[in-house]
Amino acid sequence: MFQKNDYVYWQASVKGIIYDRAGRVEFVVPAFKHPKEYVPDTFNFYGVGKPRDTVSFLISVPGTNTLFWPNIEKIQSLGLNQWHILYDQRLKVRSRSRFNVDKTDRLKLRNLCELVCLLFNDAYYENEDFITVPGWGRRFWFGIREGKEYIKHIENFAPVKGV
């Protein structure tokens, strides 16, 4: 069974198209409880149906503020060969606005990641919201203030070797 902060994988079907999804367990929902009772105001909720007769899970997907409620039968532990899904899955475009942002902090962190990952035969993953180094057990989230990108938050998780 899964616990809070475990990384998981499942396949979702939308209008006949199957999508690979991956995310982190945010909340464990007890049997016969509706997950909406566990969704904080800071998250959107995607899931339908009545409370389930088994424990279920609310899962966050990187780059969104949405919690998903997949069927327990579809959820698996995120395998080493599936970590790329965390960063490659299709997400909705929030804005088409373009503006110049000073990304000096991101470039410094990226250079450090490249150097250390090269030295220790590790890998890192990057998207517009964060840089993740599974072997370090760290995800560096970025924010933008007054046209300058900065490290807003460092998320810690159990290191994953061999990604």
For 114-150, write each residue's pLDDT tens digit.
Answer: 888 788 777 888 887 888 888 888 888 888 877 788 8
At 144-158, the pLDDT tens digits run 877 788 888 888 888
Query: Exposed/middle/buried for 40, CB within 10 Å: 0-12, 13-18, 19+?
Result: exposed
What is the band of 76 on the pLDDT scale with cuts at 50, 70, 90? Answer: very high
What is the band of 7 on the pLDDT scale with cuts at 50, 70, 90? Answer: very high
Alpha-carbon distance of 47 to 81, in angstroms, equals 27
Alpha-carbon distance of 76 to 8, in angstroms, equals 6
Q: Which long-range contacts (CB under 8 A, 24 or more apart) does 63-68 make?
A: 63/91, 63/127, 63/128, 63/129, 64/91, 64/92, 67/26, 67/27, 67/35, 67/39, 67/43, 68/12, 68/21, 68/23
CB 39 within 8 A of CB 26: no
Mean residue pLDDT across the chain: 82
Q: How far is CA 10 from the centre of its chain?
A: 13
pTM of structure: 0.55
Q: Which two tokens stand for residue 141?
A: 């989230």
Alpha-carbon distance of 64 to 130, in angstroms, equals 12
